[in-house]
């Protein structure tokens, strides 16, 4: 996607649908408020994917199965459900950007079936995350 000349046409604060501004918060801690920056849609995609990777690789948030009791406690927590919801919402926005702005490129690269299948997995997760929150 980075080599696509269309990517360079995005300015910070521009996105899909038109007039949507993408913002990203960085550098927050207990004592310091995060700094919010305007980013272009491609930068937003990169930040979401990088952030998601860090969340999933953090064993305190997504523990491995070495300590099954601990993992089950984490997975049953409200914090874990909130994090998963945040991940799915951000990924859904990424797919909206991809389908609206970059799908032609993926189709030309014969990657459209992979993008569609990947989106089906995210949609499935969103659907059942919603179902779980309704019935919990």
Q: Give pLDDT, residue 104.
A: 86
Taking the C-alpha atoms of residue 71 and residue 79, their distance in angstroms, rounded to an integer, is 13
pLDDT score of 6 more than 60 = no
Q: Give pLDDT, residue 21.
A: 80
Q: Is position 82 within any domain?
A: yes
Counting the structural domains of the chain, the total is 1
Q: Give pLDDT, residue 131.
A: 54
Mean residue pLDDT across the chain = 81
Q: Give pLDDT, residue 77.
A: 87
Mean pLDDT of 89-114: 87
Q: Is position 59 within any domain?
A: yes
Q: Is position 94 within any domain?
A: yes
Q: Kindly report the CA angle at 124 between 121 and 125, in degrees rounded to 5?
A: 90
Which range, of 24-33, 54-63, 126-135, averages the lowest pLDDT?
126-135
Q: Is position 3 within any domain?
A: no
Q: With cut-offs at 50, 70 and 90, classify the pLDDT of residue 57.
A: very high
Q: What is the CATH number of the domain that holds 62?
A: 1.20.140.30
Do residues 109 and 4 touch, judged by C-beta distance below 8 A? no
Range of the domain at 51: 40-135
Q: What is the pLDDT of residues 7-47, one digit of tens each?
A: 566 666 556 666 778 889 887 677 778 889 888 888 899 99
Give the residues across from 36 on adjacent strands.
Answer: 25
Q: Is position 35 within any domain?
A: no
Q: Give pLDDT, residue 122.
A: 83
Q: Is position 28 within any domain?
A: no
- Tokens at residue 125, please? 């997760």
The pTM (predicted TM-score) of the whole model is 0.74
Q: Is position 128 within any domain?
A: yes
Give the residues across from 78 on adjacent strands.
Answer: none
Q: Is position 105 within any domain?
A: yes
Give the residues across from 24 on adjacent strands.
Answer: 37
């Amino acid at each position: 996607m980075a080599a696509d000349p269309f990517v360079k046409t995005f300015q910070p604060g521009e996105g899909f649908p038109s007039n949507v501004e993408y913002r990203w918060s960085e550098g927050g801690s207990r004592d310091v408020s995060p700094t919010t920056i305007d980013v272009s849609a491609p930068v937003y995609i990169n930040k979401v994917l990088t952030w998601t990777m860090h969340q999933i690789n953090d064993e305190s948030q997504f523990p491995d199965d070495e300590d099954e009791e601990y993992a089950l406690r984490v997975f049953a927590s409200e914090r874990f459900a909130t994090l998963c919801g945040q991940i799915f919402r951000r990924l859904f926005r990424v797919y909206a950007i991809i389908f609206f702005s970059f799908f032609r490129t993926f189709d030309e690269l014969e990657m459209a079936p992979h993008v569609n299948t990947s989106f089906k997995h995210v949609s499935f997760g969103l659907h059942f995350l919603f179902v779980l929150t309704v019935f919990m």
